[in-house]
Amino acid sequence: MNSKKGVIAILTGGGDVPGLNPAIRAVTIAARREGYEVIGIRRGWGGLVDMIPDAQADNGEHYQVLTNEVVNRAGRTGGTFLHSSRTRPSHVKKSGVPAHLKDRYGADVNDLTPHILENLAFLGVDHLIPIGGDDTLSYGVRLHQEGVKVVAIPKTMDNDVPGTDYCIGFSTCVTRTIEMTNRLRTSAGSHERFLVMEVFGRYAGFTALLPTMAGAANRCVIPEHKFDMEQLTQLMVEDRNRNPSKYAVLLVSEGAMFTGGERVLADEAVDAYGHAKLGGIGDVVSSHLKDLSAKYNGGRKIDCINQKLGYLVRGGDPDAIDSIVPMAYGNLALDLIMKGIHGRLVVLKHGRYDNVPLDVVTATKKVVNVKEHYSTERLRPRYDSFEMKPLFLVTSEG
């Protein structure tokens, strides 16, 4: 797989978001124009786990050569045509070890990194561009430490990758959340109910905070602050009764917790990165809101419309920002490669494109700065001034 300047491999890991295909397209078009060959690893790190480093093996399901025709076809669409997975090659359970590796790896948990390095060498990969969140990119840090030339692109609709003010997928998520809220508020108003919507956000509440700031909801509860259910109910009843249409809207991050409660799990099983699947806090909050509402509403309970937005906000085509930023990120990644720079994460900081050391993704966590951006008294966003603030207000420094 020799080419004029070398081989660049791209992969997408973790959850899908709109904007992945535009990023793949940007890298491919620019790299091929400069004389590189570009290949796409399928199913994130999973493609490199399942691949057999043998010229006689059929690895067609694990990677593909990327051409202008292929990426142009997908470049304006959502999701990732390379597919994705939550594979963690450094922590593969015995049951997940491919058949051709079972004689080499028989422990309960196995580090397949030597196999990954073999496959990268087999493909002739000179540079690797993983696109993902902090979990996916944390293994990119591991490969960088092993000597692989890695330049990474941040993606997550939670916008929680450290080191950058913006991650691919966040704008579309916020846009979809506002759209869905505005659709459902008509039913809430018709029936004079609370509208409770659960959104993604395991540790960071940006996807609930920003739509609320934009006017989509009256209140929001986020993972960074344990809220009091009585306080929330009183505020929601007051919001509803002040509204001529007699409804109020609440956004609930999936990782939110009320005082005395814990994170609500949709499934006890954990993924490759040790995360249990969250989901259901919206149901719990809705039930408590209804039961407690009579206390603040003259003895009359208020019903809830309870909707989990889930994958509705991560599906479909990217919005304008998630079409433009991925294009810029892809070109930034290639610029670094052409300068011989690696071990970097391309980022947006303070409204300008830049790059930072890749290991920032494992060095810290990016969450809502409660003191600066969230009112624990009002359970909604706070903002004293917008002067000189970044586009989405939240920054990599919190």
153 & 23 share domain: yes
Would residue 393 count as lying in a domain? no
- Residue 3 scores a pLDDT above 50: no
Whether residue 255 sits in one domain with residue 132: no
Neighbour order of strands in the sheet with 304-308: 219-221, 248-253, 194-199, 304-308
Judgement on whether residues 303 and 210 belong to the same structural domain of the protein: yes
Are 239 and 300 part of one and the same domain? Answer: yes
Instruction: Please indicate, yes or no, whether residues 161 and 190 belong to a single structural domain of this protein.
Output: no
pLDDT, one tens digit per residue, over 294-340 is: 999 999 999 999 999 989 999 999 999 999 999 999 999 999 999 99
Same-domain pairing of 37 and 69: yes
Nearest to 252 by CA among 295, 277, 283: 283
CB distance 368 to 206 below 8 Å: yes
Q: Give 30-39 pLDDT, tens digit per residue.
A: 999 999 999 9
Q: Are residues 155 and 234 in the same domain?
A: no
Q: Catalytic annotation on 50?
A: no
* Residues 31, 157 within the same domain: yes
Residues 164 and 177 in one domain: no
* 264 and 332 share one domain: no
Q: Which domain, by its residues, includes 340? A: 7-168+316-363
Whole-structure pTM value: 0.93
Length of the chain: 398
Whole-number pLDDT of residue 260: 85
Q: Kindly give the interhelix angle for 134-145 and 113-123, rounded to the nearest 10 degrees.
A: 80
Q: Does residue 396 fall inside a structural domain?
A: no
- The verdict on residue 2 lying in a domain is no
Q: Do 129 and 220 fall within a single domain?
A: no
Q: Which of 50, 126, 158, 160 is catalytic?
A: 158
Nearest to 155 by CA among 135, 139, 180: 135
Burial class of residue 369, CB neighbours in 10 A (0-12, 13-18, 19+): middle
- Look at residue 1 and tell me whether its pLDDT is greater than 50: no
Domain with residue 375: its CATH number is: 3.40.50.460
| Whether residues 128 and 197 fall in one domain | no
User: Number of structural domains, the chain?
Assistant: 2
User: Strand 265-270 to strand 92-93: parallel, antiparallel, or no bridges (unpaired)?
Assistant: unpaired
CATH code at 31?
3.40.50.450
